[in-house]
Structure 1
Amino acid sequence: MRPPTIIGVFPVDTHLRTSNLHGTVVSVACAMLWQDGAMTVTPPVAKKVPTERTHHGDTFVDDYEWLRAKDNPEVVEHLTAENAYTDAVTAGQEQLRQDIFNEIKNRTQETDLSVPARKQDWWYYSRTEEGKQYSIHCRVRATDTGDVAKDWTPPEVVPGQAVPGEQILLDGNAEAEGKPFFSVGGIAVSEDGNLLAFSVDNAGDERFTLRIKDLRSGELLPDEIPNVFYGVAFSPDGRQVFYTVVDDSWRPYQVKSHRLGTAVDDDALVYQEDDVAMWTGFDLSADRTQLLIGIGCSEYSEYRVLDLRNQDAGLTTLIPRSERVLYEAEPLTIDSRLHYLLTHDRGAKNSMVSLVGAEQFERPLTEQQWLTVVEHDDAVRVHGATVTATHVLVSVRKDTTMRVQILPREGLGTSSQHAPIEPSFEEDLYTCTLAGAEFEAPMIRLSYISYFTPPRIYDYLLDGGELTLRKETPVRGGYRSEEYVAERQWATAADGTQIPLSVLRRRDLTDDGTNPAVIYAYGSYEISMDPGFSISRLSLLDRGVMFVVAHIRGGGEMGRTWYEDGKKLAKKNTFTDFVDATTHIAESGWVDRNRIAAIGGSAGGLLMGAVVNLAPEKYRAVIAQVPFVDALTTILDPELPLSALEWEEWGNPITDPEVYRYMKEYTPYENVKATTYPRIAAVTSFNDTRVLYVEPAKWVAKLREVTTGSEPIVLKTEMDGGHGGASGRYEQWKDVAWDYAFAADALGATAPLTRTAGVAG
């Protein structure tokens, strides 16, 4: 049934339109009548064009598949009408949105810069300026005095003050001028420091144009390469640029080499991957001697390596994909012999690190000799390893927390190998990652962040183990971390599994059962929702909202098994975990069970659609950001962007009837039903290539058609944005403010709390 019309008071100049194309009413957006000083707002009605989809003997009738025709003027009219309806329904939240935007802006030090990082003869950094949307990439000359500590200490730079000798490499604000969208896909400087390669997207579709800039003259070279994907790298001699290309389904499948000064049509194809279920990418080795081409999915991989000093020798395969080993490789030379450091899952579900001589790969895998560097541990997930000239650096996850372990290369893989050292920190819930490791540098750079500690940059001296804080990102507006609390709680799933939750709140909240809450999760692709600082999240916390991050199965917080227990034919665990986490919070004694909202994006948007079908009564509002809510339709069509790559995560419903049946039981669009749905906002972007706008557009149309409730269900489409929404930091702040205002308004948490004496400062 159709939901009742929304009645409210709106500005007289609210944009309204009625679209009638070819004699058919496609959308009736915000048709209004004034009644006793109030205005009724009627949502758009998408026409029905039944389309049958038949697989494995099952036929599904889709009334709204016609919305996929992006170039159809009726589709654009409908999305425009949806935006007008959304604007009208949420007009009363405008002041709240503006307040939250201002809070984000006022807490952000808009004129700021990163800690300079040294590469060869230069210190590189980026900075932002108040009133400007985009970063400015810069550098200053480094000096060598012979004092290692002094030479690797970054120069003192002060936000807002001119840096002597500064050279601007790329000003995003100048590049974005007059463009509807701006995003940088890759940026690299040649080893000699003379050339800059950068790629730019002006549509939001993640297809970039690659340009080369001569940093000596400031002039752009005539070389211009369209339609490249993320990532760019120079060869060590600076004469070549490596880049990736996507196929028609947006899958990166080619690695190419452009020789400067030649025609783009003459670019050499270094590698092409024809398996539609495999993703291709590349990187330079830490010692800059090899091009490492990684081909893989989430279950196994393959590395092809190119010796950059002898490219005519062609590519060499390390472990072929037929062995079904998931691994990463990094070359290193020990006693003049080439070896590879492998992070792999061979006999090690959580992965381990081994050292393998290059000659071993000429033998069958079962005959190769591998030396253990980091042993497998059921409680520690190994995520990767890299090297410097003197040390090995390993990224691990232990007790849900990302850490960096460091061990000398001396004695590597032998009985004389040193035990790894792990920098320690005071907080329990934090994230520590490697932020930079120049091959010849005497120190590495670490990034540290927690829920209430803003980003910090440390330099760690490899020989002495000294940890030096270089910067903590400032937060304005009187922010004090001690006014907030982050704690770990555990929810019990229906099958007894303990689900970790990160529960964030103001310290002065009381456990009286009256507080509102927002629950956020992702739960797919082994991606972990690690502790991180968020200025925008403070606006919810300061309105008395408890913010809960649910680390549900399908993510990677608890190791590889945690991921495998939330994918393919175990995917439903992801959704029931979120519902069980909600139940835990509702029964915690802190939260009013009638004041809970849920937020998730992309695959987390699929999560939102699934849980609102499973337990709509548990949520006052749901915000689904670029939601993957029509997953079955997408994955059934290998011609759609990235759909074949999804088979490893969800299974292949094209060939496997059991996967088809299982997916159809949970995919949001197929399972919309006649029930009382909560207030829902679906937020999407017209040019998104990862989750097409049509998915939330169809979902909203179907929800409105069958809901038995009276809550508004709205679709907000950014017509110039991509998967991450609009470009530019101010526009992104507005997007966040919109989402948070929608949630806060639904929860009745629109006004900031007063500070409790003794806590506020």
Structure 2
Amino acid sequence: MVIFVIDKITSMPKTTLLPPKATIIPHSLEKHGHVRTDNYYWLNQRENPEVIDYLNQENEYYRQSTAHTKEFQKDLFEEMKVRIKEDDESVPYFYNGYYYITRFEKGKDYPIHSRKKGSLEAQEEIMFDCNEMAKGHAYFNLAGLSVSEDNVWVSFGIDTVSRRQYTIQIKNLVTGEILPVKIENTTGGATWASDHQTLFYSRKDEQTLRPDKIYKHKIGTNPDEDVLVFFEKDETFDVSVYKSKSKKYIIINSNSTMTTEYRMALSATPDAKFTVFQKRTRGLEYSMSHFGDHFYVVTNKDKATNFKLMKTPENATSKENWVDVIPHREEVLLEDIDIFKDYLVVTERFNGLNQIRIMPWNGVGEYYLPFDSETYTAYTTTNLDFDTEILRYSFQSLATPSSVIDFNMKTKAKTVLKEQEVLGGQFDKNNYTEERLWATAKDGTQVPISMVYLKGIEKNGNNPTLLYAYGSYGVTMDCYFSSVRLSLLDRGFVFAIAHIRGGEDLGRRWYEDGKLLKKKNTFTDFIDCSQFLIDNKYTSPQHLYAEGGSAGGLLMGAVVNMAPSLYHGVIAQVPFVDVVTTMLDDTIPLTTGEYDEWGNPNVKKYYDYMLSYSPYDNVTAQDYPNMYVSTGLHDSQVQYWEPAKWVAKLRVLKTDNNQLYLDTNMDTGHGGASGRFEAIKEIAKEYSFLLDLEGIKR
């Protein structure tokens, strides 16, 4: 059905499509004596033709409603694409006698993985051309490349559905032959023992997709003969397997939100029994790195909330043998370590900012790398070589393209190996202003905001502003450069990141104060940051936009219920919005492992608290902002039906005439499109939504 309305800007009639309405089929859900009625529960039937038909109707409604922006989307795509160096390649890294390189060719969507023996002048050996491998697939992802120590074999994982269920295969790098072996339903990652014949990998539960088993495969055998090495019975834990940087140990990691446990065996004897490093103790988190005759352990032992570094003898690994190397500090989060023959490199976070600390093993002359920005991120990258004085790290800021840097820890000489090129001839980082400000939350907490915008904008409340956040799982939302974001900045947008609680931006307590029964701090922090930008005249409710994906999509769903009038538009990517129903269904991937993040709703206090903020359960009859909601049919992390049900409910209850779109990619999952250019097309859709709301047409 088509109706005519008068466009307020042009006074000309324009056609407006009526959106689809999902069939209402009430379904009762009871827990703790409380009954919820879910009118759209039926949308979780992935194989039901009526479900597919509804999703297609929503897609068609989105396409027709935004047809007037189609050419603009194409222009935005070309504008973003032209900034990208199409024939690009990574900085080579050296490992076990070979330089490894990932490169792209002009006009092609997927990477080419290659290596060169001994020298960068040596002949290139192409390991994988993903452009050829991706032919015939709407989605393609190659992951988990692992080369045996004799440089003959490489294992790799392939996903052609976007459900993160990888098939592992093995290639002979000498002959080029890919063995007929196909190991299904894995994480894609694997690691070789030192015998060059034994491959360890993790396999997923068929239904929940939880990585719960470690197997070993022998070259020349059938996968049906693979030996189960370890089964993780606790449904709140995931398992993975890797080799220590020293190459001495194969290590199995069992991990949950609050507890870790490691097992290890000598890489030289892959058939030996794995021994526990330190048995799991509720609340004890640790990671370990092997060096010499000791293990170095990053841990929260002894109430070290922000973690500390300890060490223990190689032959006595239980926690009573651990001794402090770097004690716990209340104000500094210890994030990670890199071990070299002569140096220990420590990655820390102070006042929300990255620090890289260089500590010679001889104890003489430790120092920090100097960084002079407040909206930057710096992190160590690929440092596989043990016997070297060179540390490789990356640096970028909101206005500074990413650089890969080799730093000589002895001489302190710095070599910039590569800075991300921004083509097109228009970009100059000096044209932009970066700021770091602090908003006051309703409980008095100071919340940092990182911002970037064109120099010279006036604080008159009229600047279109996009505020982004995530705020869950202790994920730190560092300041990162984006060449595609320039399409907003150069049109007058302010871009800001709210470093809200629930992330680990200001240390572990920042995370603890935004999870479980304190989860609402995440939402109110974002709202308070929004209000701060309005109060300080950066923008106004008529020009403020919010964006978040996955758990950040939950954030979007919560804030539009709680403070809808603050935002003119919202982008919610693969949003986790049906919190209570999902967390009560332990057959859905990831659910049981999330109890320490959100709480277990089988316990009434968590059920009640979850219910009080769950976006789907709290949709009400009120005005909502303009909204663009995206999802993928094959998403294994946030099932497509969560955003689909949410949009269906919003359509019935919202009291405004604002735009509401559900855009479902019928070929992909949680990460969206797989090709680098297809991914940009998705961003062009989002940006055209924002720019159209601002009346910016070119």
TM-score (structure 2 length as normaliser): 0.96
Alignment of structure 1 residues 328-477 onto 2, 5 Å: 328-333=287-292, 338-347=293-302, 348-361=304-317, 365=319, 368-410=320-362, 417-418=363-364, 420-437=366-383, 438-477=385-424
Alignment of structure 1 residues 585-596 onto 2, 5 Å: 585-596=533-544
Letter in 1 for 2:588: L
1:472-494: CA deviations, max 9, x gaps? 11111221000111110111111
1:164-217: CA deviations, max 9, x gaps? 611111111011011111012211222222222111101111111111111112
1:243 matches 2:201: yes
1:653-708: CA deviations, max 9, x gaps? 11x11111011000000000000111111100000000000000000000001011
Letter in 2 for 1:194: V
In structure 2, what is the Cα distance between the partners aligned to 1:389 and 1:238?
Answer: 25
1:338-380: CA deviations, max 9, x gaps? 3210000012100010111134335xx4xx2433222211121
Residue-pair matches, total: 691
Alignment-derived partner of residue 19 in structure 1: none
Is the 8 Å Cα contact of residues 6 and 13 (structure 2) preserved in structure 1?
no
Alignment of structure 1 residues 114-513 onto 2, 5 Å: 114-143=90-119, 155=120, 165-247=123-205, 248-322=207-281, 324-333=283-292, 338-347=293-302, 348-361=304-317, 365=319, 368-410=320-362, 417-418=363-364, 420-437=366-383, 438-478=385-425, 479-513=427-461
In structure 1, what is the Cα distance between the partners aligned to 2:256 and 2:695?
Answer: 44
- Within the candidate set 94, 105, 112, 2:88 is matched to 112
Alignment-derived partner of residue 46 in structure 2: 70
Is the 8 Å Cα contact of residues 285 and 331 (structure 1) preserved in structure 2?
yes
Letter in 1 for 2:456: D
- Within the candidate set 621, 637, 640, 1:693 is matched to 640
In structure 2, what is the Cα distance between the partners aligned to 1:323 and 1:699?
Answer: 36
- Within the candidate set 6, 17, 20, 1:41 is matched to 17
Give the SS at the match of 2:182. strand
- Within the candidate set 64, 73, 78, 1:97 is matched to 73
Report percent identity of matched pairs.
38
In structure 1, what is the Cα distance between the partners aligned to 2:692 and 2:146?
Answer: 44
Give the SS at the match of 1:652. coil
Is the 8 Å Cα contact of residues 298 and 310 (structure 2) preserved in structure 1?
yes
1:677 matches 2:624: yes
Moved segments of 4+, more than 6 Å: 3-6
In structure 2, what is the Cα distance between the partners aligned to 1:188 and 1:650?
Answer: 34
Q: 1:6 to 1:382 in 2, by over 3 A?
A: farther
Give the SS at the match of 2:241. strand
Is the 8 Å Cα contact of residues 483 and 508 (structure 1) preserved in structure 2?
no
Is the 8 Å Cα contact of residues 44 and 85 (structure 1) preserved in structure 2?
yes
Q: 1:6 to 1:475 in 2, by over 3 A?
A: farther
Letter in 1 for 2:308: M
1:549-575: CA deviations, max 9, x gaps? 000000010000000000000000000
Letter in 2 for 1:242: F
- Within the candidate set 667, 670, 680, 1:723 is matched to 670
Give the SS at the match of 1:112. coil
Bigger CA drift: 383-392 or 86-95? 383-392
Shift of 1:403: 2.9
Alignment-derived partner of residue 737 in structure 1: 684
In structure 2, what is the Cα distance between the partners aligned to 1:305 and 1:657?
Answer: 39
Is the 8 Å Cα contact of residues 353 and 377 (structure 2) preserved in structure 1?
yes
1:623-644: CA deviations, max 9, x gaps? 1000001111100111111111
Letter in 2 for 1:428: E
In structure 1, what is the Cα distance between the partners aligned to 2:665 and 2:580?
Answer: 24
Is the 8 Å Cα contact of residues 407 and 420 (structure 1) preserved in structure 2?
yes
In structure 2, what is the Cα distance between the partners aligned to 1:230 and 1:406?
Answer: 33
Give the SS at the match of 1:311. coil
Is the 8 Å Cα contact of residues 597 and 747 (structure 1) preserved in structure 2?
no
Is the 8 Å Cα contact of residues 286 and 388 (structure 1) preserved in structure 2?
no
Alignment-derived partner of residue 626 in structure 1: 574
Give the SS at the match of 1:528. coil
- Within the candidate set 578, 584, 588, 1:640 is matched to 588
Q: 1:255 to 1:567 in 2, by over 3 A?
A: same
Shift of 1:531: 1.1
Alignment-derived partner of residue 523 in structure 1: 471
Shift of 1:618: 0.7
Is the 8 Å Cα contact of residues 155 and 169 (structure 2) preserved in structure 1?
yes
Shift of 1:241: 1.7
In structure 2, what is the Cα distance between the partners aligned to 1:643 and 1:489?
Answer: 36
Q: 1:407 to 1:549 in 2, by over 3 A?
A: same
Letter in 2 for 1:123: Y
In structure 1, what is the Cα distance between the partners aligned to 2:389 and 2:335?
Answer: 24
Alignment of structure 1 residues 3-22 onto 2, 5 Å: none
Alignment-derived partner of residue 88 in structure 1: 64
Q: 1:622 to 1:262 in 2, by over 3 A?
A: same
Q: 1:547 to 1:749 in 2, by over 3 A?
A: farther
Alignment-derived partner of residue 25 in structure 1: none
Letter in 2 for 1:186: G
Alignment-derived partner of residue 480 in structure 2: 532
- Within the candidate set 26, 34, 47, 1:50 is matched to 26
Q: Gapped runs of 5+ residues in structure 1?
A: 10-35, 144-154, 156-162, 411-416, 752-761
In structure 2, what is the Cα distance between the partners aligned to 1:281 and 1:384?
Answer: 18
In structure 1, what is the Cα distance between the partners aligned to 2:113 and 2:6?
Answer: 47
Shift of 1:616: 0.6
Give the SS at the match of 2:541. strand
Letter in 2 for 1:70: R
Alignment-derived partner of residue 598 in structure 2: 650
Q: 1:419 to 1:312 in 2, by over 3 A?
A: farther
Give the SS at the match of 2:540. strand
Shift of 1:456: 0.7
Letter in 1 for 2:419: E
Letter in 1 for 2:131: N
Bigger CA drift: 477-486 or 163-172? 163-172
TM-score (structure 1 length as normaliser): 0.88
In structure 2, what is the Cα distance between the partners aligned to 1:354 and 1:119?
Answer: 28
Is the 8 Å Cα contact of residues 543 and 567 (structure 2) preserved in structure 1?
yes
Q: 1:323 to 1:722 in 2, by over 3 A?
A: closer
1:705 matches 2:642: no
Is the 8 Å Cα contact of residues 442 and 461 (structure 1) preserved in structure 2?
yes
Give the SS at the match of 1:44. coil
In structure 1, what is the Cα distance between the partners aligned to 2:281 and 2:458?
Answer: 57
Q: 1:216 to 1:535 in 2, by over 3 A?
A: same
RMSD over aligned Cα atoms: 1.9
Shift of 1:620: 0.6
Give the SS at the match of 2:596. helix
1:135-163: CA deviations, max 9, x gaps? 111111215xxxxxxxxxxx4xxxxxxx7
Give the SS at the match of 2:658. coil
